[in-house]
Amino acid sequence: MYSIIDTHMDSFVSGNQYAPRDFGKKTNIGHVDYYRLKEGNVSAGFFAVYPAHSDYLLNWGTNAWFEILENYPEYFCQIKKFNDLKKVQSSEKVGAILHFEGSGGIDSEFNNLKNFYRIGLRSMGITWSNMNRFGTGVGTNKDRGLTAEGKELVQEMNRLGIIVDVSHLNEKSFWDVIEVSNKPVIASHSNAWEICNHKRNLKDDQIEAIKESGGTIGLNLCISFLKEKVEKPEKIGFKHIIKHINYIVKKAGIDHLTLGSDFDGARVPEVIKDVSYYPNLIRILEGEGYSSEDIEKITHKNIERVIKKVWK
């Protein structure tokens, strides 16, 4: 049995807002609850606060995020240190890592960033797919990258020990992060552009740059990131997922792929329609010839390496 650390789930805040559920019961609402996480062998996940475009939204979302932990203390625990992550893998609880999907609510002097770090923020994207004072997301101004404040933000995240997530950045901002960061960076939920030409997917040189940083790429299960021009979503299957896996491994090596499902934030294939279906993907990987060591890297060891290098 492989312990999975999912690098991107929207379940606690936006997922629960649009599909309210009891996380302590097994339901068919959304993609995630405690029992489906355990069936999927997920020991921990990066649970996003989204939207995060303003200080109000960050405060509201962070409060909603912590309410999940407070309401289900027997099922979930917060992960702040690497040792917390190792402990939870042998417990009955699921570990939750606080992630911000955008930095629009961070002040220019980083005072609230420091306070968010104190309460457990351990990963953050500079933008969602929009533009803010720090940087530029995909689908906006292609000529605008990180601002001067954005470069300072990356440096401050490096200093504090917060993982920099490049998943929603446009190309210019992406390359600015690569230039500025002195720690591994991740694309928590992105796929290969050469397989599916979607603005959120990564081109070959971006995949190589993440590899060179020592970072990881989280396989996104969103149907529109797996295949272009999908007319029948129900036809999207493991063959489309495995194409991205094989391609990223070919380009970056086995040490730089993780699982970043985007559960509760995207439409996913019926063959892996919620988090409890992860064991089916593991069987597909085994059938493709991936060794147990390979699968351990994909499911948890690769992101553990990044965490050890970035977190304090």
Q: For the segment 250-279, what is each residue's pLDDT rounded down to a tens digit?
A: 999 999 999 999 999 999 999 999 999 999
b/e burial code for range 69-95 (CB count within 10 A of at least 16 → b): beebeebbbbbbeeebbeebeeeebbb
| pLDDT reported for residue 138 | 97
Q: Read off the amino acid at residue 111.
A: N
CA distances from 96 to 7, 9, 85, 274, 292 (A): 10, 10, 9, 18, 25
pLDDT in tens, 279-293: 999 999 999 999 999
The residue segments making up the domain with residue 45 are 4-310
Specify the CATH number for the domain of residue 87: 3.20.20.140
pLDDT over 90 (residue 147): yes
Task: Report, as an integer, the average pLDDT of 208-219.
Answer: 99
Report pLDDT digits (tens) over 6-17. 999 999 999 999
Q: How confident is the model at residue 125 (pLDDT cuts 50, 70, 90)?
A: very high
Distance CA 31, CA 199 (A): 24
Question: Over the range 188-202, which residues count as b (16 or more CB within 10 Å of their CB) and which as e?
Answer: bbbbbbbbbebebbb
Q: pLDDT tens-digit profile of 39-81?
A: 999 999 999 999 999 999 999 999 999 999 999 999 999 999 9
On whether the CB atoms of residues 72 and 34 are closer than 8 A, the answer is yes
Cβ distance 43 to 5 under 8 Å? yes
User: Per residue in 25-38, pLDDT tens?
Assistant: 999 999 999 999 99
pLDDT at position 156, please?
99
Considering the entire predicted model, what is its pTM?
Answer: 0.98
Q: How many residues does the chain have?
A: 312
pLDDT at 207: 99
Helix axes 111-118, 55-71, angle to 10 degrees: 10
CA-to-CA distance for 52 and 54, rounded, in angstroms? 6
> What are the φ and ψ backbone dihedral angles of 133, each rounded to 5 degrees?
-65, -15
Q: How far apart are CA 302 and CA 202, in angstroms?
A: 18
In one letter, which amino acid is 16?
Answer: N
Q: Mean of the per-residue pLDDT values for the chain? A: 98
Q: What is the count of structural domains for the chain?
A: 1
Give the percent of the chain with pLDDT over 70.
Answer: 100
Give yes or no for residue 139 having a pLDDT over 90: no
CA 256 to chain centre: 14
Q: What is the pLDDT of residue 39?
A: 99
Instruction: Tell me the pLDDT tens digit for each residue of 185-206.
Output: 999 999 999 999 999 999 999 9
pLDDT of residue 231: 84
Give the model's pLDDT for residue 1.
Answer: 85
Q: Is the pLDDT of residue 153 over 90?
A: yes
Q: Closest by alpha carbon to 79, among 6, 30, 23, 14?
A: 6
Q: What is the pLDDT of residue 23?
A: 98
Where b means 16+ CB within 10 Å and e means fewer, 117-146 reads beebbbbbbbbbbbbbebbbbbebeeeebb
